Structure 1
Amino acid sequence: MGYFLGLFIGPIVSGNIAERYGWRSFFWLSLALTCFNFLTLLTCFPETRFHRDVASESLGPFANPYGPDSKKESDPEVGSEQLENIESVTTVGTGRPSKSQFKLWKAPETEWKAYLLRDILSPFRLFLFPIILWAALNVAGPANILLFWNLTESSVLSAPPYNFSPSSVGYANFAFVVGGLFGLATAGPLSDWIAVQATERNNGIREAEMRLPALIPYFLFTVVGIVVGGMGYDRLWDWPVVLVVGYGFSGLCVTTVPTIAIAYAVDCYKPISGEIMVVATVIKNTCGFAMSYWVMPMAGRRGFLVPAMVEFALTIGPMLLGLPIYFFGKHLRRLTMHSSVHSYAG
């Protein structure tokens, strides 16, 4: 929700600024907010790459829960889920950021060059991981259907028969906010609940793919939202239909489909959760950049329904690939089980 909130709220603010002070003023506001954000991150945000020296003796009885002579991870009776639970007990909620994490400068780790090279090259490797590529496409699809509405709303809603003012065009984006908030409240709990139910039916054994069926209701909302929005544009349906169904359901799609897809990818590759978002962002922004060149020219030649259906294919297509991912995801995970990305540390 935080990732896309700017795309929801930005047009609401910019529409009012454009009507009262001119559209250029919004860019100056964006510059000021960006500078403020940079300064607050620099001074108030703890360094996430901070090196932690955790002595094993400080963990008390959790330092070696199976005794000095145990087989630890090599023991087949010691499941990975148990090890993760022990790790969470010893780390989560037991500390707080230290003052040194907030310093403006700290000497880098001795192997910083290797880490830097690894972090630069990792996203390029991850494009070859089918699960990560699929998750990234399911971030890009919903994000770019939202961009499609952003690119076209001013041309459509400010023209007859709607005749919206610039501020009214901005207020139309509240439909995305409402849909997004509904998605925020439902996507995580629904996918977790479905995964828990599937785990119980599977004798307590959890598989990452168990959360994927949660995509089904949001798939249906996405189909309806894009089709109704595109046809509403093309046939000039009443604006409540376009905004409530087209925009609202698209806002719902934007905060639910990426949430579930990325959560699944992180379940599969927890040590590289940050790199997964890098891959998703690169694909999303590359597709979004290209959209600025073809959406409006195509709409001018063939009407708004055609580019809407192109976006429909780019959004629904990756979602449909969730079906083979559900059945063959475990096999795909096995193909990368020996990859070095599983040993990455923060």
Structure 2
Amino acid sequence: MHLKALKELDRSEGTVRIRQSGDGALVLVPQPSPNDPNDPLRWPLWKKHTAFGAVCAFTFLTNYGISGLAPAFGVLAQEFHKSPGEVADLLLWPLLVLGIFNFFWVPIANYFGKRPVFIFASLLLFLTFIWGARAQTFRSLLWSNIISAFAGSSTEALGAAIVNDLYFLHERGTKLSIYMNFIAGGNTIGPLICGFVAENVGWRWHKGVAAIATGITFATVVFLVPETQFTRNLDAGGSALSDSEAEKGVPVTTEVAQKTFWQELSLTVGMSPGTNIFELFVRPFPLIVYPAVLFAFLGYAVSLAWVVAINIMAPFILEAPPYLWGTSLIGLINLAGFLGNVFGSVIGGWCVDRYSDWRARKNNGVFEPEMRLFLLILPALIVPAGCLVFGYGVGRSLHWTALFFGFGMISLGLVAVPIIGMTYVSDCYFPVASDALLLVNGLKNIVAFGFVYGVVPWVTGSGYVNAFGTQAGVFVAIMALAIPLALYGARIRHRTSQWRIIL
């Protein structure tokens, strides 16, 4: 078994020029293939955006159909004669499955291609949502959620990898922010809608709407999403295309034939039959020693755990005195989560991309991945403050607006922190980004599951003020890990790029 160092795959070590030193013109990174129009980086914008939009819709609907059911937990507890802790299993176990099965889907996609994985997974998600809508027992509903999570877990890491397939370095932050907003949006818009649906036409229609939308997404993936996996030489020479030429898909003189519409629908285009599939399953795990991967995973884990904990507890908090909210009103607290997600995506995506470009211009056009980390100061201040506001709000029975603002501030971190962290990982370790992002997405769900599994007993024993105060401190401690990366990142990347840990 031959182990390689990152230096052998990418001599840049993540430090690249994205602006010409003279006129400041944009340099496309990575370089699109000069002689192959089938390179996804050369696709016209409509084709890129359709593929990207289908992936975003799929990941949104996964969380919409599963997590969106949270406002109906009180209704479900009465209908199936279950305790609040037992009903919480509808969200807890799928959360674990969403993490674990990342480690299944990514190697399968690397071997067979991303397209067949998305076709199969979107069809399975469609069928499991129909199953959930017709479930007559709590056990049946629980298993429909678990299998839905198995199908939906295919997008967690692969969706981020598809951003790298379709878009250039200077676009990654913004596109990943859109993708993360769809992931988080399923957890906020889903409960917001479900509260009204469950109260007026029954919780089963929540699953029914999810099934209909997923069926449309499945058809879109089948007919309009080609394979995005493409083998490129990161050190290839050749004249660079201008930004406008690449984005518009301007044809080039080439010896490679453009695939027809029906050829693009093939399920075998992305296959790598010469690859050892066992190595594909094993090779992500050594990458956890890369500092950027470790930080991105921990930051995403705590950002997710705090939000999921509130989603589980909110129905029971708001149904009880002094709030006494109905099912539809409980869903409205997710409006705060949605607004937090939007602000977080702007900070982690558009703002970070603009800030990094500004820093690169001042650095003679040279981009350093650590430029993305400096804006972490915003979630590092806002999220802990939100934890304190929410904890004191519930613990002291304050007005519902305290809970609203606290949840919104916490939700900002759910999007901003993983966008910055995962984009940083892609910039540092682009040749192995798919495997590195697999670790980030898979492990964060496992850690979040462990936290959420114990959060109800913790809050019951310590009280909301102490529990959420501790969460604020943990979040600050993990954000502090970005300081050495921001200050000494180039030196760390140079050292780690020589580690022989890549299969």
If the TM-score is normalised by the length of the shorter chain, which range does it land in?
Answer: 0.7 to 0.9
> Where does residue 118 of structure 2 map in the other structure?
none
Match of 1:299 in 2: 459
Distance change in 2, residues 1:42/1:318 (3 Å): farther
Aligned residues: 314
Task: Give 1:101 deviation, angstroms.
Answer: 5.5
Amino acid at match of 1:136: F
Distance 1:97 1:331 in 2: 43
Q: Which residue of structure 1 lines up, in the alignment, with residue 450 of structure 2?
A: 290
Q: What is the alpha-carbon distance in structure 2 between the residues aligned to residue 107 and residue 243 of structure 1?
A: 48
The within-5 A match list for 1:141-290 is: 141-244=302-405, 246-290=406-450
- Quote how far apart the aligned CAs of 1:292 are: 3.7
Cα distance change, pair 128–113 in 1 and its aligned pair in 2 (3 A): farther
Is residue 121 of structure 1 aligned with residue 274 of structure 2?
A: no
Q: Distance in 2 between matches of 1:324 and 1:108?
A: 39
Superposed displacement of residue 205, structure 1: 3.3
- Measure how far apart 1:341 and its partner are: 8.5
Q: Which deviates the most, 273-282 or 331-340? A: 331-340
Q: When the two structures are superposed, what TM-score results if normalisation uses the length of structure 2?
A: 0.56
Q: Identify which of 294, 297, 315 aligns with 1:136.
A: 297
Checking the alignment, whether the CA contact within 8 Å between 2:323 and 2:400 is kept in structure 1 is yes
Residue 131 of structure 1, CA deviation? 0.9
Q: CA deviation at 1:325?
A: 1.2
Q: Note if contact 1:42-1:104 (Cα within 8 Å) is conserved in structure 2.
A: no
Does residue 13 (structure 1) correspond to residue 193 (structure 2)? The answer is yes
**Deviation at residue 297 of structure 1 after TM alignment:** 1.6
1:235 shift after superposition: 1.0
Partner of 1:237, secondary structure, is coil
Unaligned runs of 5+ in 1: 54-61, 66-84
Residues 89 and 28 from structure 1, CA distance in 2 versus in 1: closer, same or farther, beyond 3 angstroms? closer
Q: Distance in 2 between matches of 1:117 and 1:39?
A: 32
Work out which of the residue numbers 181, 184, 198 in structure 2 matches 1:4: 184
Aligned AA (2:384):
V
Does the 8 Å CA contact 1:175/1:248 hold for their aligned counterparts?
yes
The alignment partner of 2:302 has SS state of: helix
CA change 1:275–1:3 in 2 (3 A) is farther
* Structure 2 match to 1:45: 225
Amino acid at match of 1:106: T
2:338–2:411 Cα contact (<8 Å) kept: yes
SS in structure 2 at match of 1:127? helix
Cα shift at 1:118: 4.3
2:289 aligns to what SS in structure 1? coil
Name the aligned partner's letter for residue 352 of structure 2: S
| Distance (whole Å) between structure 2 residues aligned to residue 14 and residue 249 of structure 1 | 22
Alignment partner, residue 128 of structure 2:
none
C-alpha offsets along residues 175-209 of structure 1, whole Å, 9 cap, x if unaligned? Answer: 11112222223332322333234334444433211
**Which stretch of the first structure deviates more once superposed, 43-52 or 12-21?**
43-52
Cα distance 1:64–1:187, how it changes in 2: closer, same or farther (>3 A)? closer
Retained in 2: the 8 A contact 1:229–1:242? yes
Does structure 2 retain, via aligned residues, the 8 Å contact 1:226–1:312? yes
Alignment root-mean-square deviation, CA: 3.2
**Equivalent-residue separation in structure 2 for 1:239 and 1:97 (angstroms):** 57
The equivalences for 1:80-99 within 5 A come to 93-94=248-249, 98-99=260-261
Q: Which runs of 5+ in 2 are unaligned?
A: 1-180, 252-257
- Please identify, of 322-331 and 111-120, the stretch whose mean Cα deviation from structure 2 is larger: 111-120
Which amino acid is the alignment partner of residue 222 of structure 1?
V
CA, structure 1 residues 51+191, in 2 after alignment: closer, same or farther (shift >3 Å)? closer
CA distance in 2, matches of 1:301, 1:34: 41
Cα separation, 1, equivalents of 2:232 and 2:458 = 54
Report sequence identity in percent: 26
Instruction: Give the TM-score, by structure 1 length.
Output: 0.78
- Rounded Cα–Cα distance in structure 2 between residues aligned with 1:231 and 1:266: 38
